[in-house]
Amino acid sequence: MDLNERKLKILQAIVQDYIQTAEPIGSRTLTKRYNIGVSPATIRNEMADLEDLGYLTQPHTSAGRIPSDKAYRLYVDYLLQMKKIASFQRDSMKTNLLKRFGELEDVLQYSSKILSELTNYTSIALAPQIKGSRLKHIQLVPIDNEHIIAMIVTDTGVIKKPLLRFSGGMDFDYTQKVSALLNEKLAGLTFQDIEQKLVKELKEEAHQFSSIIQTIVPEVFKTLEEIDDFELFLNGTTNIFNFPEFSDIFRAKSFLTMLEEKSLISNMITSTEAEGLTISIGSENPFHQAKDCSLITATFKLEGNTMGWLSVIGPTRMDYSHVISVMEQISSYINQLLKNR
Amino acid sequence: MDLNERKLKILQAIVQDYIQTAEPIGSRTLTKRYNIGVSPATIRNEMADLEDLGYLTQPHTSAGRIPSDKAYRLYVDYLLQMKKIASFQRDSMKTNLLKRFGELEDVLQYSSKILSELTNYTSIALAPQIKGSRLKHIQLVPIDNEHIIAMIVTDTGVIKKPLLRFSGGMDFDYTQKVSALLNEKLAGLTFQDIEQKLVKELKEEAHQFSSIIQTIVPEVFKTLEEIDDFELFLNGTTNIFNFPEFSDIFRAKSFLTMLEEKSLISNMITSTEAEGLTISIGSENPFHQAKDCSLITATFKLEGNTMGWLSVIGPTRMDYSHVISVMEQISSYINQLLKNR
DNA sequence: TATTAGCACTCTTTGTTGTTGAGTGCTAAC
DNA sequence: GTTAGCACTCAACAACAAAGAGTGCTAATA
């Protein structure tokens, strides 16, 4: 018993119907809505087979069938193979997105907003942690007698700005010299390298600035450590209320509570390694909280470094076709942006 | 017919009971739970009076009574008058809060998190817009040949960092001179002043830098304009699921949707002018979306300038006593912090 | 005169029961 | 191999009854 042409046809019809209606579908209704070419009785037999094979489940004996995660996986793989990317909204999106410049974080956040609006699902933007990235520029700026800001730009575009308390005062020229030295020594290195090896060396080498470097540099890193979470932006969280599977208050609650757990979400998203689109369906997700959800993640890379992630999360009964097409569009513009900065 | 001692006693009992149980309460139950000293029949008469006076309502004829917004208002005014501030958690909170330094925004955000955890309601932190505040420090930093970051520190502690595209390149010394000039001319002024009057003057005066100033300064302000929303931080949004009045999916949805409307929320919060705690109950709120909610807002000022807001939002049946006491605590520490920076 | 006991009445909530209809699996006929 | 027919299942819905918490009114009471 394998998946012949007819079984595939029936399965696809069921998946598509369920994505639209969220209702279990029976053999008779299927023949009415779709042109399968066989009678309900035959479909019933095929459905029983498909259930045995694990593609369909039945909420109760006298109900229709609903697709399993396995069925969605088949459907999605088929879709990805076809890659029938629609080309809607191309122009308006392009100009809007390209008009924005600035930090990658902003671009991701803005894209996430568009994404949730276009798909009506919840969208998540995630910027990488600073640790793995490379220092592009560091600049100490004295604010007043007691405070210095260390402005830090990385190759992933993240700009962190730890505010340091530094009693004793320091004038601009001095911070300028220190900044120049730090740039010279540290630019291009990863933060891990800097922290592990170079601070010591630097202290020894730069005698004339040893006091300030001993005070400031560890302080900068300590503060960075503290603020260095994954930055997570959510959009369209209330969209789940549009879906009947979340009209149960407990489901809605657990979904929204899951979204509030930043660490869980970022774990789930960053676990995707491959560049491009990754789809994980229902129980494929690493956390049980997400077992009724599908997560579509676009990973952005530049020269091997991960620059950020963009995700859509929704019910397993997700309109994969639509979401994939929108995400492919947005991804291509972001990649364009990444290459041209 | 006025509010005699006994009516007040009964009303207070009803309010307190309803805050705890969220169930309409009848005369008999009231006598059982509280020691009023009269029979249910008497209480019924008094309740009928209180209903006529607008302090109570009845969901239906054979149900108990629930307090109206007017009743909560009376209760809250009484509470504020008493100011029975409990002194729990004082020490742990103090050390935690004072350990944090840095931007006021961070302090507000962190406080909001504590606040939602301590009260189990939703908490909102709001930092002021940049427009009304004064420039404390501006520093242009060249990142590469095409980008300059303008780091801007204001007296409200907000640090904005618009990234500007500036083709042509500019070396550090040059940006340094320009920064110094801008600081000299602009520090201490409000952004409105700068924008309206001074840009023109500056252009004329500073001949040697006229080209860059003509290019950069308007660009900085344009970018500021774009990013200058109220910064709004939400915490504990899913806490509403704990309250039976939001166990209806539509209520929950409309509450959460309201929270997503940043402009509405910030309008509601910033409409409070007075320093200290402001409470608006149910229909007292300016927006109908919030007519089932109470909003308790702490406004922080320093020398007349509003530095930020901290709010708790929840059902009108809010545990005012508890929330007020927690907010008084946190506010006092934030004020302490503000004065000592 | 203010308070209270008693009573009839109201209305929601909860549980029961029957009906409907969409769906199934199985069998026998085509 | 496919399909018509049939008995069966089960959720959803509506109708109905009973329970229970509450009310307002009236008459008795302190």
Contacting residues of B for A256, CB less than 8 Å apart = 237-238, 241, 256
Whether residues A236 and A223 share a domain: the answer is no
pLDDT digits (tens, 9 = 90+) for B186-244: 888 887 777 776 666 666 665 666 666 667 777 777 777 766 667 899 999 999 999 99
Nearest by CB to residue B101, choosing from A103, A165, A248, is A165
B43 close to B29: Cβ distance less than 8 angstroms: no
pLDDT of residue B166: 67
Identify which of B74, B123, B72 has the alpha carbon closest to the alpha carbon of residue B283. Answer: B72
| Overall average pLDDT of the B91-106 stretch | 54
Q: Evaluate whether residue A79 is within a structural domain.
A: no
Name residue B337's amino acid: L
Task: Check whether residue B54 and residue B172 sit in a common domain.
Answer: no
Write down the pLDDT at residue B85. Answer: 42
| pLDDT at B75 exceeding the cut of 80 | yes
On whether residue B175 sits in a domain, the answer given is yes
| Pairwise CA distance, residues B316 & B282, whole Å | 6
CB atoms under 10 Å from CB of B53, counted, come to 16
Residues of A in contact with B244 (CB under 8 A): none
Provide the pLDDT for residue B154.
80
Residue B198 domain flag? yes
Confidence of residue A218 (pLDDT cuts 50, 70, 90): confident
Q: Out of B143, B159, B253, whose CB is closest to A153?
A: B143
Dist. CA B275–CA B271, nearest whole Å: 12
What integer pLDDT is reported at residue B48 of this predicted model? 93
**Residues A202 and A312 reside in one and the same domain:** no
pLDDT at A142 over 70: yes
* Angstrom distance, B24 CA to C11 C1': 14
Give dist(CA B161, CA A314) in Å, integer.
34
Q: How confident is the model at residue A269 (pLDDT cuts 50, 70, 90)?
A: very high
Structural domain contains residue A61: yes
Establish if A67 touches chain B: CB-CB under 8 angstroms.
no
- Residue B318 has what pLDDT? 95
Segment B21-41 shows an average pLDDT of 92
Return the structure tokens found at A170: 């320091």
Judged on CB neighbours under 10 Å (0-12, 13-18, 19+), B208 is exposed
Report pLDDT for B136: 81
pLDDT digits (tens, 9 = 90+) for B58-71: 999 889 999 999 99
B40 touches strand D (CB under 7 A): yes
Give the percent of chain B with pLDDT over 90.
45
Pick the residue from chain B with its C-alpha nearest to A247.
Answer: B249
Q: Indicate the average pLDDT of chain A.
A: 84
Rounded to a whole number of angstroms, the distance from the CA of A254 to the nearest CA of chain B is 9
Task: Decide if B223 is inside a domain.
Answer: yes
Q: Is the CB of B27 under 7 A from strand D?
A: yes
Model confidence over A173-211: pLDDT tens digits? Answer: 777 778 888 888 788 888 777 777 666 666 666 666 666
Distance of B22 CA from D21 C1′ (whole Å): 16
Tokens standing for B197?
A: 């009057």
Identify from B123, B238, B257, B340 which residue to disrupt to test chain A contact, counting A C-beta atoms within 10 A and taking the largest count.
B238
Mean pLDDT within B91-96: 48
User: Which nucleotide comes closest to A40 if you measure CA to C1'?
Assistant: D3
Closest chain A residue to B340 measured between Cα atoms?
A146
- Give pLDDT, residue A180: 82
What is the per-residue pLDDT for A341? 58
Residue B306 sits in the same domain as residue B330: yes
Instruction: Measure the CA dihedral B124/B130/B133/B135, to 10°.
Output: 130
pLDDT (0 to 100) of residue A43: 95
d(CA B274, CA B306): 10
Q: How far is A161 from chain B (nearest CA, A)?
A: 9
Does the pLDDT at position A288 exceed 90?
A: yes
Interatomic CA distance for residues A147 and A164, integer angstroms: 6
Cβ contact (<8 Å) for A153 and B149?
yes
Q: Nearest by CB to A137, from B143, B165, B257: name it.
A: B143
3-state SS assignment for residue A84: coil
DSSP secondary structure letter of residue A168: T
CB of B296 closer than 8 Å to CB of B81: no
Q: What is the pLDDT of residue A104?
A: 76
Residue A261, domain CATH: 3.30.450.40
Cross-chain Cβ contact A241/B260 below 8 Å:
no
Report, as an integer, the average pLDDT of B144-151: 76
Nearest CA in chain B to A143: B137
**Residues facing A301 on adjacent strands:** A306
Tell me, yes or no, whether B77 lies in a domain.
no
Q: Two tokens at B94?
A: 């103090």
Using CA of residue A11, residue A15, residue A16, residue A17, what is the dihedral sign? positive
* A156 three-class SS: coil
CA distance A262 to A264: 5
Residue written as token pair 């696809």 = A12
Q: Which two tokens stand for residue B136?
A: 């404390």
Q: Which one of B178, B249, B289 makes the best mutation probe of the A interface by having the most chain A beta carbons within 10 Å?
A: B249
Alpha-carbon dihedral B274, B279, B284, B290, rounded to 10 degrees: 110
Instruction: Please say if the pLDDT value at position B283 is more than 90.
Output: yes
Is the pLDDT at B158 greater than 60? The verdict is yes
Average pLDDT, chain B: 83
Question: Which residues of B fall within a CB distance of 8 Å from A171?
Answer: none
Give the separation between CA B10 and CA B30, rounded to whole angstroms. 8
Shared domain for A97 and A148, answered yes or no, is no
User: According to the 3-state scheme, what is the secondary structure of chain B?
Assistant: CCCCHHHHHHHHHHHHHHHHHCCCECHHHHHHHCCCCCCHHHHHHHHHHHHHCCCEECCCCCCCEEECHHHHHHHHHHHHHHCCCCCCCHHHHHHHHHHCCCCHHHHHHHHHHHHHHHHCCEEEEEECCCCCCEEEEEEEEEEECCEEEEEEEECCCCEECCEEECCCCCCHHHHHHHHHHHHHHHCCCEHHHHHHHHHHHHHHHCHHHHHHHHHHHHHHHHHHHHHCCCEEEEECHHHHHHCHHHCCHHHHHHHHHHHHCHHHHHHHHHCCCCCEEEEEEHHHCCCHHHCCEEEEEEEEEECCEEEEEEEEEEECCCCHHHHHHHHHHHHHHHHHHHHHC
Compute the nearest-CA separation of B207 from chain A (Å).
24
Angle at B31 between CA B27 and CA B33, to 5 degrees: 115
Residue B290 has pLDDT above 80, yes or no: yes
- Same domain (yes/no): A222, A244: no
What is the model's pLDDT at position B304?
Answer: 82
- What does the alpha-carbon distance between residue B195 and residue B190 come to, in Å, rounded to a whole number? 9
Give whichever of A141-145, A309-313, B19-23, B170-174 has the largest mean pLDDT. Answer: A309-313
Q: How confident is the model at residue A338 (pLDDT cuts 50, 70, 90)?
A: confident
Task: State pLDDT tens for residues A70-102.
Answer: 999 999 999 887 754 444 444 455 444 444 445
Residue-level pLDDT at A222:
73
- Choose one of B166, B197, B227: the last residue of a domain: B227
CA distances from A119 to A88, A111, A296, B125, B137 (A): 13, 12, 12, 30, 42
From the list A212, A226, A159, A213, the residue with the least C-alpha distance to A186 is A213
How many structural domains is chain A composed of?
A: 3
CATH number of the CATH domain containing A56 = 1.10.10.10
Query: In this structure, are B251 and B120 located in the same domain?
Result: yes
Determine which of A8-17, A315-324, B267-276 has the lowest per-residue pLDDT on average.
B267-276
B326 and B242 in a common domain: yes
CB-nearest partner of B249 from A141, A151, A247? A247
Distance measured from the CA of protein residue B74 to the C1' of nucleotide C1, in angstroms? 30
B166-192 core/surface letters (b: 16 or more CB in 10 A; e: else)? beeebeeeebbebbebbbebbeeebbe
pLDDT at A200: 66
B238 close to A260: Cβ distance less than 8 angstroms: yes
Q: Quick count: other Cβ atoms within 10 Å of Cβ A81?
A: 8
CA-based end-to-end distance of chain B = 54
Domain carrying residue A193: 135-227
Residues in contact with B163: Cβ distance below 8 Å, sequence separation at least 6, in sequence order: A101, A102, A103, A159, B143, B147, B148, B149, B223
Q: Amino acid letter at A140?
A: L
Nearest residue in chain B measured CA to CA from A99: B165
| B137 pLDDT tier (thresholds 50, 70, 90) | confident
B95 and B149 housed in the same domain: no
| Separation of alpha carbons B31 and A188, rounded Å | 75
What pLDDT is stored for residue A216 in this prediction?
Answer: 72
What residues have CB less than 8 Å from A42, skipping those under 6 apart? none
| CA–CA separation, A301 and A299 (whole Å) | 7
A87 touches strand D (CB under 7 A): no
Q: Report residue B304 CA to chain centroid gap.
A: 17
| pLDDT higher than 60, residue B88 | no
Domain match, B282 and B332 both? yes
Question: Residue B197: what pLDDT?
Answer: 64
- Hey, are the CB atoms on B163 and A252 less than 8 Å from each other? no
Q: What is the mean pLDDT of residues A294-309?
A: 91
- Residue A86, pLDDT score: 43
In this complex, is the C-beta atom of A153 within 8 Å of any C-beta atom belonging to chain B? yes
* Chain A nearest C-alpha distance from B114 (Å): 15
Q: Is residue A302 part of a domain?
A: yes
Q: Which of A167, A193, A227 is the last residue of a domain?
A: A227
Chain B residues in contact with A141 by the CB 8 A cut-off are 137, 139, 141, 151
User: Which pLDDT tens digit goes with each residue over A115-133?
Assistant: 999 999 999 999 888 777 7
Question: Does A45 contact strand D, using a CB cutoff of 7 Å?
Answer: yes
> Are residue A198 and residue A294 in the same domain, yes or no?
no
Question: Does A103 lie at the interface with B, CB-CB under 8 angstroms?
Answer: yes
| The pair of three-digit structure tokens given for residue A295, joined into one six-digit string | 């997560």
Q: What percent of chain B clears pLDDT 70, i.e. is strictly above it? A: 82
CB proximity A107 to B under 8 Å = no
Whether residue A255 lies inside any domain: the answer is yes
d(CA B43, CA A10): 68
Instruction: Single out the residue of B153, B150, B162 nearest to residue B105, CA to CA.
Output: B153
Task: Write down the pLDDT at residue B322.
Answer: 93
Of all residues in chain A, the percent with pLDDT exceeding 90 is 47
Q: Do A99 and A238 share a domain, yes or no?
A: yes
Residue A222, domain CATH: 3.30.390.60
Report the alpha-carbon distance of residue A46 to residue A30 in Å, rounded.
Answer: 12
Question: How far is B256 from chain A, CA to nearest CA, in Å?
Answer: 7
Among A67, A100, A115, the domain-final residue is: A67
Query: Distance between alpha carbon A204 and the CA centroid of its chain, in Å?
Result: 42
In angstroms, the CA A110 to CA A107 distance is: 5
**CB environment A165-188: b (16+ within 10 A), e (fewer):** ebeeebeeeebbebbebbbebbee
